[in-house]
């Protein structure tokens, strides 16, 4: 038995297996990451989603009502991975973008106790955030200024909201494969936290 989801893709409704959904979403996010910063991105994504919807509807009939992961794999093979698109304008632009990409400080929303300041600083400096938290707590009790510094940092450091920002926070170059990996990691996190919740019941 498998759980299915209902999705709206290019204006059509599909029932899709959970694993197939995760694979499709991962793929679409990867393409979106590839074209991020392009002014045509919405048009491109729209056309691609329309085409995928069309290919999916060919794989649906009264005897087979659910999209399974094999359908998605077939479609990805037809559509191709972003790096096979042979899109030179985009590739040239990306290269210059990589070079300018540096490590930046953000607050880490996925690794936080209060505002994610220590999580973000830890990612920036390559230090375990727990050590920073201990230092802040000591500074709070020992010298009384820890809290003030923390609050100031909380205000001035922006939160890492997008996938690209989270990758920048770790100091890795923002490219297609990194975004792909990151999205996959996030899905795995969500999956395991779901499983964790189920076990707790």
Partner 1 sequence: MPDMNIENVKAQMRKGVLEFCILSILSRGDAYASDIIKKLKESRLIVVEGTLYPLLSRQKNAGLLSYRWEESPQGPPRKYYALTDKGNEFLKELNASWTDLVDAVKSIYNK
The site for partner 1 (CB under 8 A) is made up of 10-12, 31, 35, 38-40, 43-44, 47-48, 50-51, 53-54, 57, 78-82, 84-90
10 versus 109: smaller Cβ distance to partner 1 = 10
The residues, any chain, with a CB within 8 Å of residue 16's CB and separated by 6 or more, are 4, 5, 6, 7, 24, 66, 67
Minimum Å distance from CB 15 to partner 1? 16
Task: Please give the C-alpha separations between residue 101 and each of 43, 54, 65, 113, 170, in angstroms, as whole numbers.
Answer: 26, 38, 45, 28, 11
The residues, any chain, with a CB within 8 Å of residue 10's CB and separated by 6 or more, are 46, 49, 50, 51, 52, 53, 54
51 versus 104: smaller Cβ distance to partner 1 = 51
Minimum Å distance from CB 47 to partner 1? 4
Q: Quote the CA–CA distance of 45 and 47 in Å, as a whole number.
A: 5
Minimum Å distance from CB 150 to partner 1? 45
46 versus 192: smaller Cβ distance to partner 1 = 46
Minimum Å distance from CB 41 to partner 1? 9
15 versus 90: smaller Cβ distance to partner 1 = 90
Q: Pull the structure tokens for residue 11.
A: 């204006």
How many other CB atoms are there within 10 angstroms of residue 160's CB atom?
24
Q: Quote the CA–CA distance of 185 and 187 in Å, as a whole number.
A: 5
58 versus 63: smaller Cβ distance to partner 1 = 58
E strand or H helix that includes residue 14: strand 12-17
Minimum Å distance from CB 4 to partner 1? 21
- String of b and e for 79-107 (b: at least 16 CB within 10 Å)? beebeeeebeebeeebeeeeeebeebbbb
Minimum Å distance from CB 56 to partner 1? 11
62 versus 86: smaller Cβ distance to partner 1 = 86
């Amino acid at each position: 038995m498998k759980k299915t989801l209902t999705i709206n893709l290019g204006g059509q409704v599909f029932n899709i297996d959970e694993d197939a959904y995760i694979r499709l979403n991962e793929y679409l996010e990867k393409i979106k990451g590839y074209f991020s910063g392009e002014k045509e991105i919405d048009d491109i994504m729209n056309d691609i989603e329309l085409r995928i919807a069309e290919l999916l509807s060919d794989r649906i009939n009264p005897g087979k009502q659910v999209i399974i992961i094999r359908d998605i794999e077939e479609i990805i093979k037809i559509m191709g991975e972003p790096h096979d698109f042979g899109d030179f304008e985009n590739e040239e632009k990306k290269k210059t973008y990589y070079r300018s990409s540096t490590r930046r400080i953000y607050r880490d929303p996925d690794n936080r106790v209060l505002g994610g300041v220590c999580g973000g600083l830890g990612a920036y400096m390559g230090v375990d955030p727990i050590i920073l938290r201990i230092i802040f707590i000591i500074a709070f009790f020992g010298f009384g200024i820890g809290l003030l510094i923390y609050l100031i940092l909380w205000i001035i450091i922006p939160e890492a909201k997008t996938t690209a920002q989270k990758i920048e926070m770790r100091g890795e170059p923002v490219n297609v494969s990194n975004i792909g990996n990151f999205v996959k990691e996030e899905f795995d996190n969500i999956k395991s936290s779901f499983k964790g919740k189920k076990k707790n019941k």
